[in-house]
Structure 1
């Protein structure tokens, strides 16, 4: 563990709102994506959290913007998009972030 040195540079914060009645299915689907995140090149950390009964968020961190861009068009996004109408109440809210400090 390195303290005081930023080892990550960019991140994604993706908010997902489940359709009523699809909360468990969305949670199960995204939890299953952990194995994809574990082997994705350039991904340094991946978090999946629940914010409230219907709202979930993914937080992914990367060293380089090129890794983040590759992730956006990669296998995890490709797995979600065909099921988006079934699982999501609205389109994912994707926010790009600059990492100012980390503790990995």
Structure 2
């Protein structure tokens, strides 16, 4: 059962919203290739605010994801696509259905 998660929030630069959406969609195959990532969600929270929420059974799985290809790609594209640095929070899951 998942006990660990990450919640990332990103804010697109004006006019870059569609590119952020496409970037997030393109990350799905990378998440699917991560055996320790149990669930991975890309979300739109507002017109230019987006997020990623993913869950893990172990702290090691969460750390592997943080050091993986999605995080590297996000950071490599951040200055072009995002108005501020991504906010990435480690969270612990209290209840799951």
TM-score range, shorter chain: over 0.9
Q: 1:46 matched to which residue of 2?
A: 40
CA distance in 2, matches of 1:102, 1:35: 24
**What's the offset of the Cα at 1:41?**
2.0
How many angstroms apart in 1 are the aligned matches of 2:45 and 2:24? 14
Runs of at least 5 residues in structure 1 that lack an aligned partner in the other structure: 1-6
Matched, 1:85 2:79: yes
Larger radius of gyration: 1
Distance across 2 between alignment mates of 1:13 and 1:81 = 15
Aligned residues: 97
Q: Give the superposition deviation at 1:79.
A: 1.4
Runs of 4+ in 1 over 3 A off after TM superposition: none
The reply to whether residue 66 of structure 1 matches residue 60 of structure 2 is yes
**Counterparts of 1:10 and 1:82, CA distance in 2:** 25
* Counterpart-to-counterpart distance in 2, 1:53 and 1:59: 18
Structure 2: gaps (5+ residues): none
Q: Which TM-score applies when normalising by structure 2?
A: 0.96
2:38 & 2:95 partners in 1: Cα distance?
14
Paired residue secondary structure (2:94): coil
